[in-house]
Amino acid sequence: MQDEYRTVARAGVHETEINRSRFLCALAPAATEREAQDFIAAVRKEHADANHNCWAYVIGADASVQKAGDDGEPGGTAGVPMLQMLLRRDMRYVVAVVTRYFGGVKLGAGGLIRAYGGSVGEALDALGTITRRRFRLATVTVDHQRAGKVQNDLRSTGREVRDVRYGEEVAIEIGLPDADVDAFRAWLADATSGTARLELGGEAYGDG
């Protein structure tokens, strides 16, 4: 499994003009292939009058799904360079659609490849990306007396407190990078005089 991946911070559109042709690159996060396809369909509908709506998406932290389409541009000059740009930037769970309004000047194959790939790169820069890191879900169980201090210590050391449940004891759910588990266990024993319990759960990805 990948330890981390990057995705777009938010959905958005970035426009560039090349030799009088307008290139609008729409980017969006997509958790599944269906979400990516729905986004492509929505952009196509919005820009039904455009000459081309070329697309590419990468799904999976390990980029297990990679697809691209040229939508009428010469084969390999649009979707593939868009996909290559997403992969070069380590982007995952993301969909890109570049809408082209032809301006009357032919760009040639090389020009198209640069235009489509470049507009995705510019859109990524303009909209911003976030890194998601793999971590292990962990639950710290501690008595009420120590719970407040433990929560404060967790937050002050940058640990993400995901959930707190109050019962006979207090269960604090956090995310831990795998590499930190042993050191965290030692810290917790020290901070609570050995009274807290640490249970490790499954894995997930979160903002890093």
Q: What is the pLDDT of residues 43-97, one digit of tens each?
A: 999 999 999 999 999 999 889 999 999 999 999 999 999 999 999 999 999 999 9
For residue 204, pLDDT beyond 80: no
For 18-54, give the DSSP string: ETTEEEEEEEEE-SSHHHHHHHHHHHHHHTTTSSEEE
Amino acid 2: pLDDT: 66
Give residue 181's Cα distance to chain centre: 25
Is 100 in the same domain as 138?
A: no
Share of the chain above pLDDT 90, in %: 76
For residue 165, pLDDT beyond 90: yes
Number of independent structural domains in the chain:
2
Is 101 in the same domain as 182?
A: no
- What average pLDDT is seen over the chain? 92
Is 113 in the same domain as 152?
A: no
From 67, 98, 127, the end of a domain falls on 127
Section 14-25 average pLDDT? 95
Is 140 in the same domain as 101?
A: no
Pick the residue with more confidence: 9 or 83?
Answer: 83
Residue 5: strand, helix, or coil? strand
For residue 187, pLDDT beyond 60: yes
For residue 167, pLDDT beyond 70: yes
pTM: 0.73
Is 27 in the same domain as 116?
A: yes
Share of the chain above pLDDT 70, in %: 98
What is the pLDDT confidence band of residue 1, given thresholds at 50, 70 and 90? low
Amino acid 203: pLDDT: 75
From 71, 96, 127, the end of a domain falls on 127
From 88, 110, 127, the end of a domain falls on 127
Q: What is the pLDDT of residues 109-149, one digit of tens each?
A: 999 999 999 999 999 999 999 988 888 889 999 999 999 99
Cα-based distances in Å from 22 to 25, 51, 52, 111, 117 = 10, 10, 11, 14, 14
For residue 158, pLDDT beyond 60: yes
Residue 60: strand, helix, or coil? coil
Total length of the chain:
208
Is 37 in the same domain as 104?
A: yes
Is 123 in the same domain as 135?
A: no
CATH number of the domain at 123, please: 3.30.230.30
Is 118 in the same domain as 140?
A: no
Amino acid 162: pLDDT: 87
Q: Which residue range is the domain that position 123 belongs to?
A: 4-127
For residue 205, pLDDT beyond 60: yes
